Structure 1
Amino acid sequence: MKRSRPAVLSVFVLAAVPMAGPPVAAADADVTVVVNTMAGMEKVDDLAIGVNHAIWDAQLGTPEVADLMRDAGVRAMRYPGGSYSDIYHWRDHTAPGGYVAPNTDFDHFMAGVRRAGGQPIVTANYGTGTPQEAADWVRYANVEKGYGVKYWEIGNELYGNGHYGASWEADDHPDKSPAQYATLVRDYARAMKAVDPTIKVGAVLTTPGEWPDGITADGDAGPWNQVVLSIAGREIDYGIVHWYPTGESGPEVLSKTDRIADQVRLVREQARRFAGRDIGIAMTELNTSYGRNTQPGALFAADAYATLIANGVFTVDWWNVHNGVERASTIAGQPDFHDFGLLSSGGCTEDGTTCQPALNTPFAPYHALSMLSRFARPGDQLVGASTSDPLVGVHAARHTDGGLAVLLLNRSEDTAKTAEVDYAGYSPAVAARVLTYGNGATGITTTTGTAGSVTLPPYSLTTLLLRPSTPSAAPAAPARPAATAVTDRAATLTWPATAPGVKYEVHRRFGSTSEALGETKGTTFTVDNLTPATRYSVNVLARDGAGRLSWASPPLTFQTTGPTTSSCAVHYAETSNWGNGFVANVDITNTGTHALDTWTLTFPWPTTWQHADSGWNANWSQSGTTVTVTNTDGNRVLAPGETTTAGFVGSYHGPNVRPTSFTLNGVLCSTG
């Protein structure tokens, strides 16, 4: 079983399109929700909503389970089950050292996948297997049986093979380093693709901010991701990450989804830096530590899946379909069994005093997946949305048929919230279908409401399904733009033409707010007057001669460089890391023509979960996310060309994002 574990125009375009339906007076609403369809994010992949199946689960592939997966809109199904993947031999359907349930072989699994209308994700045995064994599996699946298995992983969580101290993953190789793993991944990928060149192969990566990410073990050239991507990055098609955020309460767990955007961005940046290319990202295991079977688990699942999809993760796979009772408790008035499964296993606690509901009864996260599949379908595009209340979360998706869906999460356990909903770039019809999944419910209810307002029950998921007030044929959305010639103050954006006679609008995205940077009839646009060392997200939209506006392009994110000229320079370098803390040095150089007599350096952390705890060769303090570093008597004066080095011990509880903007005595410094 699985272990527990430029701004040239500066015109704001958010002025809401006139509301369809009676608006709620602001004084009467608890929260204001803003949806901006011009702030485009990523599209929903065919495999976006997924689950894990395990060969020790006797219900794997049964018609009842397959039908439940189909009804929930599950499209991806991963096999043969977490850490069992590294002891499983598909040909004889054995897992030495583990339990294998009857009728859970690969063909039974595929029968369930096909009945559910899903697609498989298969994990080849790295720990106790060989490249030839994996290639033979590809041949059996796709040549002999015609199953068309596209996505294959090489092993599961191999960083847990003891190389970093903790050992839960089987790995018979004498060399357990990331370099050995990456070298064999190349062998696996080549052997498997020699059988079927159309398959996609994924390699195990660590999740930024989660152990052992950032740690460099003795003898390694760098942390796990750096080594694996440097060696195998040209051979693989996607990276595999897993996430089990910790927490002992609903508020603690539900707040952790704010880590996701940085997790995904850092993996993407690591691939570009160490592999020299973009790769896909798959989160093939996800679950939570609190309320797994009750409403906190449902709220977490809905928020995490939607956020991951919006950030371009092509599949998110819940761990798992069945697992079993760990312990019984009551959460938000409902029985919780601390069970990783989406469906009840029908078991009881060890003392027999508390039993689960009947076998295959859906737990709350199952209904969250069902809600997600109605909120956003393959091909739909997530768009920007925000709320005025931190206890209310929101996601929005533009549907390929012209509709719009708004998913609202009320994280307050006790209080209903009345929400006023405003729209930019979209004019909804008055009526809305309202889907609701409340605390303790056994299914999703459907009612009729309005586009402009909705009441959110305590601890609930609510989706508004909307139609446009006046359907129209808009021009095709542009493709994702590319950025070149990025400097401290400018960037040139380019994109393919969509249709003759249209003009293109370039928008900077701030969550649910857009700022118009300019427009052009061509397919190139230079953005000027940008801020140095700043990250920008932009979309391109096409408008035709009738004024009809396309969907937003997929987003482009780029970062301007530090100032090209400055009277100071800063070099920031992490020197060691142990998983939730690190040591870093900051080199400060006076590049001006005059001596500095006393100095103060400030820099902001990019996140709220990073902290400078203590330091040396300077006075260190932190207020909010801003770190302040001042001289000591020994380095008070910095002559022109002189450098002083100060160091500190830092801590983090999420992705450890490198700071990029440093100011010395009020002057923004160049960086390197």
Structure 2
Amino acid sequence: MSSDDPTTSEQPMPRGRTHRRSRTRRHIVAGAVAALLAGGGAGVLAFSANAAPTVAVTVDAGTSLGMVPSTGVGLNTAVYDAYMNDAKAASLMKAAGVRQLRFPGGSVADAYHWKTHTVTGGSWAAPGTDFDHFMATTKKVGAQPIVIANYGSGTAQEAADWVKYANVDKGYGVKYWEIGNEIPGNGHYGSKWEVDTHADKSPREYAKNLVAYAKAMKAVDPTVKIGAVLTTPGSWPDGLKASGDDADWNNTVLSVAGKSIDFVIIHWYPGGNSTADVLKTPAKIAGTTSAVRSLINTYAGPHAASVEIAVTETSSAESPAQTSQAAALFAPDTYMSWLEQGAVNVDWWDLHNGIGKPTTVDGETDYQDGGVLSVGSCSGGTCEPARETPFPTYWGIRSLTALARPGDTMVKASSANPSVAVHAVRSSNGGLNVMLINKSPQNAAQVSLSYIGYTPARGTVRTVSFTKGGTALTTATRGTAAAQTLPPYSITTLQLKPASAATRADAPSPAPTPAAAAPVASASGTIGTRAQASAAGVPVVRQVQSNTGGGLASTGASSAVTYSALGGLLAIAAGSVLVFRQRRSRATHGR
């Protein structure tokens, strides 16, 4: 899915109802203020007067879906991204709780030679994006690396030398190593976007070489984990047999190499003709995971239970929305759905990408940029915000910092209506965090919540929200643990405290603690918005300076948005546009 072929242009970046008339004016004003508070800095006040049915949400806090892994929230980086190591980008990634970075890119990985920092074929490597520079950024972010060894134009010896340099010579401790990117795209099934110089491009040849890579790399460092490239169940070319093959890609590769690997690799780009379509797709993740796990159990032998699933590329790239609000809602729903099903990590595509052909999606400009941070590029007279400005997708990912930290316990939660998604986590301090995602672009959602195995404290609750048009996460105190009103197209996380210390005894049985549970921290000294109650009980949003470790309302950017109690808006934004080489966006490969 990750096409990195360049094109030459003046643009940047590389590359995959019934109205309730009985309301009084006072009630309407109060409702407007509440909706504005939930808006997180939205320039347009968007809420519905419709009396939608209440959505019942149940949180079973006495169950355990496993612990949030230390590598759970990941992001792709690429050697063709000249801005990969920007200090501001590193600060924003750290603030978003990114704990894994993938290198050296997508398809470019099968053409990249780490020793010389050169690329075989049609892509390129920007100055200052070599492995050591990448590792320096990884350290700044507080993340762990996952590295793609060059299968397409490399050798097992080249990969083993990389392991030696990384873990023996430099002491970087790189654990996760993928053997190639999207090898089924090497032309064996007709479509070709992946570099593969092997004469035999069959799944059996890949599997044979995969075993050789694993043997050579583990001879240098026996602690490394080796990953096999699979096709995503239900997506091209899953189930296909090319001429001369006995079985499809997944069954062939795992039948040969299943006992030599430590994890399998899935890329998940769900399609959809509308934003509503793509927002439904996280519900399919359980079935996809089950199919992958069945393959592992069939072929991996006695160590099948220890073979992990890594989703090293995902995004909404095959839907209409890439930088608009629907993509922001899709991101945390996707991350949590995969992690709840046992994935060891999920890596979004990607840090920077570059503008495509801008469109309007649900009333917003969508720059069709696969990155989470802008590069300030232009297309057809439309320009992105200034470089390193977070797109809504960034804030969708950053919303996860309000929900979970590595080592927290994910618990079961369900919604009676698919238009509201829910995810819940028991924190190590006895709290319970519940993320509610309203997928309706027009209508607010009334939510009624009930709990099993947990008794929340009474009174109003702390919420952290991101709404359409927002430029920050907004912290407020509103609603109760039992009832919330969700603005349209919004992410709202309730941060609940127990009714008493005695409720901690109801904590679910924990899974083993991840080896290195890095804390989730935000950038210090940044500006955000926080809601407080006035003496009259009407919430007031105030601009605050965030210097705390949690800092969930921190924007990580220089622009600020301030609201008064009655909804006056002052928006200050500054920045310039830098235009440089544009690389073609991600392509669809035979789907």
Q: TM-score, normalised by structure 1?
A: 0.67
**Are 2:67 and 2:510, in contact at CA under 8 Å, matched by a contact in 1?**
no
Match of 2:280 in 1: 255
1:437 aligns with 2:466: yes
1:206 aligns with 2:206: no
Deviations 1:331-358 (A, max 9, x none): 2222111111011111011x3x100000
1:43 aligns with 2:73: no
Match of 2:179 in 1: 154
Q: Which one-letter code corresponds to 1:117 in the other structure?
A: G
**Are 1:387 and 1:394, in contact at CA under 8 Å, matched by a contact in 2?**
yes
**Are 2:455 and 2:503, in contact at CA under 8 Å, matched by a contact in 1?**
no
Match of 1:342 in 2: 372
Deviations 1:422-459 (A, max 9, x none): 11110011242101100010111000132121110000
Query: Aligned pair in 2 of structure 1 residues 171, 156: CA closer, same or farther (>3 Å)?
Result: same
Q: Which one-letter code corresponds to 1:334 in the other structure?
A: E
Q: Which one-letter code corresponds to 2:250 in the other structure?
A: N
1:308 aligns with 2:338: yes
What percent identity do the matched residue pairs reach? 49
Aligned ranges for residues 54-453 of structure 1 at < 5 Å? 54-97=78-121, 98-276=123-301, 277-278=304-305, 279-288=307-316, 289=318, 290-349=320-379, 351=380, 353-430=381-458, 431-449=460-478, 450-453=480-483
Tell me, in whole angstroms, the C-alpha distance in 1 between the residues paired with 2:483 and 2:54.
Answer: 11
Tell me, in whole angstroms, the C-alpha distance in 2 between the residues paired with 1:28 and 1:459.
Answer: 15
Q: Which one-letter code corresponds to 1:68 in the other structure?
A: L
**Are 1:239 and 1:280, in contact at CA under 8 Å, matched by a contact in 2?**
yes
**Are 2:454 and 2:503, in contact at CA under 8 Å, matched by a contact in 1?**
no
Following superposition, the deviation at residue 275 of structure 1 comes to 2.2
Tell me, in whole angstroms, the C-alpha distance in 1 between the residues paired with 2:329 and 2:350.
Answer: 17
3-state DSSP class of the match of 1:41?
coil
**Are 1:29 and 1:420, in contact at CA under 8 Å, matched by a contact in 2?**
no
Tell me, in whole angstroms, the C-alpha distance in 2 between the residues paired with 1:85 and 1:327.
Answer: 26
Deviations 1:164-213 (A, max 9, x none): 11110000000101111011111111111111111111110111111111
3-state DSSP class of the match of 1:38?
coil
Tell me, in whole angstroms, the C-alpha distance in 1 between the residues paired with 2:361 and 2:414.
Answer: 28
Deviations 1:366-419 (A, max 9, x none): 111111122111111221111222211111111122111101010110111121
Following superposition, the deviation at residue 473 of structure 1 comes to 8.0
3-state DSSP class of the match of 2:494?
strand
Match of 2:574 in 1: none
Larger displacement relative to structure 2 (357-366 or 35-44): 35-44
**Are 1:240 and 1:283, in contact at CA under 8 Å, matched by a contact in 2?**
yes
Deviations 1:290-343 (A, max 9, x none): 211011101111111110010000100000001111110122222111111011
Tell me, in whole angstroms, the C-alpha distance in 2 between the residues paired with 1:115 and 1:263.
Answer: 34
3-state DSSP class of the match of 2:501?
coil
Tell me, in whole angstroms, the C-alpha distance in 1 between the residues paired with 2:52 and 2:284.
Answer: 33
Q: Which one-letter code corresponds to 2:94 in the other structure?
A: R
Specify which structure has the bigger relative contact order, considering alpha-carbon pairs within 8 angstroms and separated by 6 or more residues: 2
Total equivalences in the alignment: 459
Aligned ranges for residues 629-668 of structure 1 at < 5 Å? none
Query: Aligned pair in 2 of structure 1 residues 473, 295: CA closer, same or farther (>3 Å)?
Result: closer
Gaps of 5+ in 2: 5-14, 17-50, 513-591
> C-alpha root-mean-square deviation of aligned residues, in Å?
1.7
Deviations 1:513-548 (A, max 9, x none): xxxxxxxxxxxxxxxxxxxxxxxxxxxxxxxxxxx4
3-state DSSP class of the match of 1:39?
coil
Name the structure with the higher helix share.
2
3-state DSSP class of the match of 2:69?
coil
Q: Which one-letter code corresponds to 1:103 in the other structure?
A: G
**Are 2:454 and 2:506, in contact at CA under 8 Å, matched by a contact in 1?**
no
Tell me, in whole angstroms, the C-alpha distance in 2 between the residues paired with 1:264 and 1:190.
Answer: 27
Q: Which one-letter code corresponds to 1:149 in the other structure?
A: V
Q: TM-score, normalised by structure 2?
A: 0.76
**Are 1:76 and 1:121, in contact at CA under 8 Å, matched by a contact in 2?**
yes
Q: Which one-letter code corresponds to 2:449 in the other structure?
A: V
Return the match for 2:493 from 463, 479, 490: 463
Following superposition, the deviation at residue 221 of structure 1 comes to 2.3
Match of 1:20 in 2: none
Tell me, in whole angstroms, the C-alpha distance in 2 between the residues paired with 1:2 and 1:379.
Answer: 35
Tell me, in whole angstroms, the C-alpha distance in 1 between the residues paired with 2:199 and 2:132.
Answer: 33
Tell me, in whole angstroms, the C-alpha distance in 2 between the residues paired with 1:48 and 1:208.
Answer: 21
**Are 1:42 and 1:554, in contact at CA under 8 Å, matched by a contact in 2?**
yes
Deviations 1:581-623 (A, max 9, x none): xxxxxxxxxxxxxxxxxxxxxxxxxxxxxxxxxxxxxxxxxxx
3-state DSSP class of the match of 1:320?
coil
Gaps of 5+ in 1: 6-26, 475-547, 556-672
Q: Which one-letter code corresponds to 1:413 in the other structure?
A: P
Tell me, in whole angstroms, the C-alpha distance in 1 between the residues paired with 2:235 and 2:378.
Answer: 32
Tell me, in whole angstroms, the C-alpha distance in 2 between the residues paired with 1:443 and 1:297.
Answer: 16
Query: Aligned pair in 2 of structure 1 residues 32, 156: CA closer, same or farther (>3 Å)?
Result: same
Following superposition, the deviation at residue 550 of structure 1 comes to 4.2
**Are 1:73 and 1:373, in contact at CA under 8 Å, matched by a contact in 2?**
yes
Following superposition, the deviation at residue 99 of structure 1 comes to 1.8
3-state DSSP class of the match of 2:207?
helix
3-state DSSP class of the match of 1:265?
helix
Tell me, in whole angstroms, the C-alpha distance in 2 between the residues paired with 1:2 and 1:408.
Answer: 34
